Each structure stands twice: as structure tokens, then as C-alpha cells.
């Protein structure tokens, strides 16, 4: 049985004051025991969140990490070892906003993935197609390419301690959600691709859906056989809404 994971990606949102409010709201949530819950604040606030959530069963992670595992001369970057030292247990790798806006390529992402794992962090590898690619019928090919590049570099074994997040770019922050069937099709393809390399790892790996998940659509999405939770953007900035999504994953 795969334990569902719901992770809140706060993106570049927050101030010390609003983060304090959000922490207060999160502390009050009744969370289902069968669901793993995590939040991914901007790096500046990781310390505040780790301290503020002490004793609450919510893990803290980062949205990005450096390609080098250890601290060193790399201006402006934060190493996975520093994230681990700050209390993080997971890190996003290859969110589409970084792939598309900052030009992060697959080869760089494999290095980040490996660097994170070498410091004991769980990488959450984000994959997903643009609207143009979907309309051209290339969804499965694009996602297979993004996943395949990490498998090729690091082997399917690397997914024993990693999570995959399928996030169709056209559904992120747009209010458009993939239908449960559309999402399931891609999730099943991701699992099949891993299964072709290593069936046991494929059975165990959690594949999250992301893209305009709300309390109102979470139950249906999380009800699909290969959807093991969600990566939540906008809705994770509201503690009550986020809590409702976490409970949906527990159903
Ligand atoms: P959204 O973002 O829930 O606001 O669509 C999801 C994500 O980008 O992780």
C-alpha cells in the first residue's frame, strides 16, 4: 500500500507575517493519520516554518536545490546538505515554472535529484506537458522523456526513495484541472515506464497529481488507482482548504 502524500508548494508567496498566520492555521488542522503531509515554503521562511510546526506531523521541504550536494562556492544557491541541516526532508526538482521560466534542463535536474538524495532528502520530480504539447498529442512522449532522462542517468532504483509529481502545465494556476481520467492515464503510463525497469519500485513509488487541485476536486482525483496524493499550489496558501485536501487523500 502506498501512503498518500499531500505537499503544499507555496511558490514565491509569503511574508514573515503571512507565514506566521499560515503556521497558526496549519497547527490547528486535524490531519488524517494515514496521509503524509508536507509544506514547501520559500527558502527564506524554512526556518520559521520548521520552528513553527514543531511537534505537528507536517514535514517541511524546499522548492529547489543546488546541483552540488555540499556547501561551497556557488553564489545564490542553497545546497541540499544545507536544506537537510535546516530541517527539510524533501525538495521539488524540475517544477515546470523552473523548467520553462528559468530554462532548467533534464541533465541539470538529474544532478539535483542525485544531490538531494545523497543528503537524505526525498526528491519530488515534477513532470508535465504544455497545452501545445497536449494538443499535438505528445503528452505521454513528453512525460516519458522527462522521467526517462532521470532513469537513464540514475537508474530506476533511484525511485525507491523519490516521488513523482505529474503536473500538466496548462492546469497549473489556471483553474483548469485535468479530469481524473486524463490524469490517471498519465499516472499509469509513468508507473508502467518505471515498471518496465523495476516492477517492485514502480508499485511502491508515489505519483502525485498537481494542477489546480482544490478541496472540491480532490476526492475524485485521489480516487484514481495511480494517483497517490497531490502537489498543491494556490490552495495550499489557505490552511483550511489545504486541510480539506489532506483529508480527501485519507478517504
Ligand atoms: P496550483 O499549482 O495548485 O496553483 O495549480 C500547482 C503547482 O504548481 O505545484
The domain limits of the chain are 5-249
Is the Cα torsion angle 61, 67, 69, 71 positive or negative in sign? Answer: negative
Task: Please report, rounded to a whole number, the percentage of residues in the chain having pLDDT higher than 90.
Answer: 98
**Band of the pLDDT at 12, cuts 50, 70, 90?**
very high
Is 211 a pocket residue for ligand 1 (Cβ < 6 Å)? yes
Look at residue 79 in the predicted model and tell me its pLDDT.
Answer: 98
**Band of the pLDDT at 251, cuts 50, 70, 90?**
confident
Choose the catalytic residue: 95, 97, 104, 129.
95
| Residue of 139, 196, 200, 192 lying closest to 166 (CA atoms) | 139
- Give me the count of residues in the chain: 251
Return phi, psi of residue 232, to 5°: -110, 125
210-224 mean pLDDT: 97
Q: CB neighbours (10 Å) of residue 35? A: 20
**Band of the pLDDT at 8, cuts 50, 70, 90?**
very high
pLDDT beyond 90 at 91: yes
Q: CB neighbours (10 Å) of residue 175? A: 9
Look at residue 185 in the predicted model and tell me its pLDDT.
Answer: 98
DSSP string across 184-242: HHHHHHHHHHHHTT-HHHHHH-EEEEESS--HHHHHHHHTSTT--EEEESGGGGSHHHH
Question: Exposure of 169 by Cβ count < 10 A (0-12 exposed, 13-18 middle, 19+ buried)?
Answer: buried
168-185 mean pLDDT: 94
97-131 confidence digits (pLDDT tens): 999 999 999 999 999 999 999 999 999 999 999 99
CB 109 within 8 A of CB 103: no
Is 9 a pocket residue for ligand 1 (Cβ < 6 Å)? yes
Element (H, E) at 66: none
Question: Please, which residues have CB within 8 angstroms of residue 176's CB and are 6 or more apart in sequence?
Answer: 170, 211, 212
Cell of 60: 517541511
Choose the catalytic residue: 36, 129, 167, 241.
167
Q: CB neighbours (10 Å) of residue 230? A: 29
Q: What's the gap in Å between 32 CA and the centre of ligand 1?
A: 22
Q: CB neighbours (10 Å) of residue 190? A: 24
Does 5-249 carry CATH code 3.20.20.70? yes
150-167 mean pLDDT: 98
32-46 mean pLDDT: 98
Amino acid at each position: 500500500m502506498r501512503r498518500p502524500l499531500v505537499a503544499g508548494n507555496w511558490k514565491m508567496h509569503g511574508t514573515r507575517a503571512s507565514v506566521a498566520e499560515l503556521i497558526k492555521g496549519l497547527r490547528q488542522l486535524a490531519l488524517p493519520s494515514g496521509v503524509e503531509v508536507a509544506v514547501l515554503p520559500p527558502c527564506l521562511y524554512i526556518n520559521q516554518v520548521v520552528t513553527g510546526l514543531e511537534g505537528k506531523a507536517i514535514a517541511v521541504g524546499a522548492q529547489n536545490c543546488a546541483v552540488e550536494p555540499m556547501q561551497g562556492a556557488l553564489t545564490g544557491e542553497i545546497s541540499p546538505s544545507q536544506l537537510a541541516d535546516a530541517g527539510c526532508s524533501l525538495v521539488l526538482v524540475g517544477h515546470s515554472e523552473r523548467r520553462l521560466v528559468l530554462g532548467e534542463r533534464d541533465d541539470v535536474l538529474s544532478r539535483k535529484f542525485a544531490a538531494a538524495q545523497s543528503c537524505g532528502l526525498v526528491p519530488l520530480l515534477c513532470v508535465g506537458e504544455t497545452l501545445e504539447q497536449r494538443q499535438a498529442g505528445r503528452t505521454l512522449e513528453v512525460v516519458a522523456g522527462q522521467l526517462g532522462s532521470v532513469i537513464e542517468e540514475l537508474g530506476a532504483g533511484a525511485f525507491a526513495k523519490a516521488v513523482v509529481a505529474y503536473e500538466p502545465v496548462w492546469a497549473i494556476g489556471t483553474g483548469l484541472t485535468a479530469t481524473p481520467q486524463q490524469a490517471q492515464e498519465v499516472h499509469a503510463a509513468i508507473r508502467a515506464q518505471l515498471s518496465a525497469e523495476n516492477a517492485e519500485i514502480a508499485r511502491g513509488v508515489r505519483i502525485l497529481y498537481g494542477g489546480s487541485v482544490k478541496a472540491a476536486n480532490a476526492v475524485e482525483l485521489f480516487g484514481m488507482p495511480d494517483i497517490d496524493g497531490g502537489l498543491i499550489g494556490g490552495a495550499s496558501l489557505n490552511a483550511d482548504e489545504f486541510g480539506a485536501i489532506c483529508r480527501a487523500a485519507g478517504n
